[in-house]
Structure 1
Amino acid sequence: MDFALTAAQTQRYEEVLRGTRERLTGDGEFADKWRAAADLGLTGLCVPVEHGGSGLGAFETAICLEAFGRGCPDTGFVFAVCAHLLAGAVPIRDFGSPALRRDLLPGLASGELVAANAITEDEAGSDTSKLSVTARHDGGSYVVDGEKSFVSNGPNADLLLTYASTSPGGGFLGISALVVSTELGGVTRGEPFEKMGLEGCPAGRVSFTSCHVPDSHLLGAEGQGSAIFAHAMNWERACLFAAYVGMMDDQLERCVAHAGQRRQFGRAIGGFQAVSHQIATMKQRLESARLLLYRACWLIDQAGDGQAAATALAKVAVSEAAVANSLSAIQIFGAAGYLVPGGVERYLRNSVPTTLFSGTTEIQREIIAREVGL
């Protein structure tokens, strides 16, 4: 288990970081930023080469997303690309039929298609075995009905990775996964929510009314949806959170620079132990989280599925470090850190949701507890 980056990996990281800083540091419309991210190869990192992607494993995907998260100040937009790739392209890559992969993966890799993950409902957040959206088999299609309540990328999505009940009362084995085109009749995308942070990722409701989805758009077998979702979450909890490792790198760099320049009582505030120790603690949290995340990605590459506890540990470590370090950054910058124009408070607003999405911290601790035998 050697996490020292090779020369090729370092070069890839630097290329993504440089490209992100050149093209994705300013304001802009979602579509324009999406095109820039696609041009940098970010929308197809782990999509197979034969389908237009880079064919990277989890570890190298994470390294690229780490650079993306470090270089792009719009963490919401980074999240949007990650959701598209990890909760959208990965399930199609690993569970779609050969024909479905040929039809959809090239568009996902190129960024021509935007994917969204449609699983959360008003009464099914952490408990995804109790979905009210149904998919009834009818001839050569599934008829989907119901509403999803919080779909990241939903307002802009071309494809919805939709999890629905095909066997009401079947629990874990009663859920199936379908790829639903938003061009189909019966699909309605809601307006974007107003959120505390992650504004760069539009999220909203999606409703289905007698939406006929072709049989060919079923992922895996009927009843395999819960397992497919768990597989996608393994990738998301590992690789997406690498973007927050990158964000914390950027944040720490800014705090160190500020502590060296800002003077009070005749000297730089970095000379006061109250500040220097706070920065040292930020570094400790960051590097501890980075190692757990790298380990989770390495295990996925080595052994595939079955890494739920490793990815849960990584997610908890990164999310808690991101929130704690963001609070420390505001304290170090003082009143300036509280002002929106300075761009320091955005770290906190964008970090708070990490304890909620991809499975709450409480759910991750349950996974970890089961792993140790409780």
Structure 2
Amino acid sequence: MDFDPSPVQRARCAEIGAAVSERFADHVTSADPESARLAWKDAADIGLTGLCLPEEYGGAGLGALDTALALEAFGRSCPDMGLVFGVAAHLLSCAVPVREFGTEAALGLLSGMAAGELIAGNAMTEDEAGSDISRIRTTATRRGGGYVLDGEKSFVSNAPIADVYVTYAVTDASAGFLGVSAFAVPRELSGVEVGPPLQKAGLQGCLAARVRFDGCEVPAEFMLGEEGSGAAIFQHSMAWERGCLFAGYLGLMERQLEECVNRVKQRRQFGRRIADFQAVSHRIARMRQRLEGARLLLYRACWLLEQGRTDVRAIALSKTAVSEAAVANSLDAMQLFGSAGYLADHGIEQQLRDCLPTTIFSGTTEIQLELIARESGL
């Protein structure tokens, strides 16, 4: 086992961190679609929108672990976790399945996706279907040389600014999991209706909305994989998302911990630094323990994925550890900053709100625990 990043990995992460710090030094999170696209352009110029896409399409051709390391550097240096999340979702839950299962027509979208010129949204979640893909109600009816999509997705990340939606629909209601198919749907097609941006507690830099398909005619060449393979494609994309996306939160936790250490060394009460109180120093120690433990689990999950070994248990362990550590550390950071942490001045309250949904999206913590239990022989 080698726990030391290679010189190439270190150099790449340092370069990304420096570029992100420079580009986003004065960045202000905005819900305005035009401003949001400008932020995406900056991320694309650094190469973040094409990390694991093939070089022939303008990507960097990185594996899962190197992609995770790059996203960790992004999360550490970027103050807008919503943007980090949005870019990672575009890359992992949308571009990856297009890369793996797209026809020639769908693959034609990859160059634009790698360059950040085409932003992608993952349109899977419905009001009655989240982790349970068998409950989706959106249908895709074969007609002529394509499919007609009808249905509504309740939460689509990047939807207000997206140019293409990777979505899932039922093509054969009698076939269960084998009756779901996947599509890459260009927004320009007739019948694609995008609702207003959803109001969220956090991740404000990632605009989200409902998306409705109303008699949307999608050419057959935009189907991903074979008809009926949607569930398998979704699970493949989730392996990459659960494995790599959460590296951005490792970066956030690293930055947060550094801010907390500086705070407790400077803040004085009762004539001494609060860092000298054991209750404070032990809280810092536990924050470090959670971060380092979660990091090891994530690196292992991504390394296995990179070796072609999609280990469901390793990915679920990683996702659970990172998400729970992110929430717990943010609560600790709030306590260490006290009333100052509750104000917007230091960004601690924003970090907490950005971390809260980690135990929900990409499969809830409860779903991950079920996967771990099942893969443990229960």
TM range (shorter): over 0.9
Distance 2:358 2:119 in 1: 22
Secondary structure at 1:315's aligned position in 2?
helix
Distance 1:194 1:326 in 2: 22
- 2:369 aligns with 365
- 2:298 aligns with 293
- 1:252 aligns with 257
- CA drift of 1:272 comes to 0.6
Matches for 1:102-113 after TM superposition, within 5 Å? 103-113=108-118
Q: Tell me if 1:152 matches 2:140.
A: no
Q: 2:348 aligns with which of 344, 347, 350?
A: 344
The Cα offsets for residues 26-61 of structure 1, whole Å up to 9 and x where unpaired, read as 216201110000000000000000111000000000
CA contact (8 A) 2:323 2:359 kept: yes
- CA drift of 1:303 comes to 2.1
- 1:200 aligns with 205
Q: Tell me if 1:49 matches 2:40.
A: no
Matches for 1:1-374 after TM superposition, within 5 Å? 1-25=1-25, 26-27=27-28, 29-101=35-107, 103-304=108-309, 306-374=310-378
- The one-letter code matched in structure 2 to 1:91 is P
Secondary structure at 1:199's aligned position in 2?
coil
- The one-letter code matched in structure 1 to 2:19 is G
Q: How many residues align?
A: 372
Distance 2:216 2:149 in 1: 5
Distance 1:56 1:198 in 2: 26
Distance 2:240 2:37 in 1: 25
- CA drift of 1:221 comes to 0.4
Distance 1:15 1:116 in 2: 27
Instruction: Give percent identity, aligned residues only.
Output: 59
Distance 1:45 1:170 in 2: 36
Any gaps of 5 or more consecutive residues in structure 2? Answer: none
The Cα offsets for residues 229-258 of structure 1, whole Å up to 9 and x where unpaired, read as 000000000110000000000000000001
- The one-letter code matched in structure 2 to 1:348 is L
CA contact (8 A) 2:124 2:153 kept: yes
CA contact (8 A) 1:69 1:245 kept: yes
Distance 2:292 2:244 in 1: 16
Name the TM-score, length of structure 1 as normaliser: 0.98
Any gaps of 5 or more consecutive residues in structure 1? Answer: none
Distance 2:307 2:136 in 1: 33
CA contact (8 A) 1:326 1:347 kept: yes
CA contact (8 A) 1:130 1:171 kept: no
- The one-letter code matched in structure 2 to 1:90 is V
- The one-letter code matched in structure 2 to 1:80 is G
The Cα offsets for residues 288-347 of structure 1, whole Å up to 9 and x where unpaired, read as 00000000000001124x322111110000000000000000000111011122211111
Distance 1:24 1:364 in 2: 34
Secondary structure at 1:342's aligned position in 2?
coil
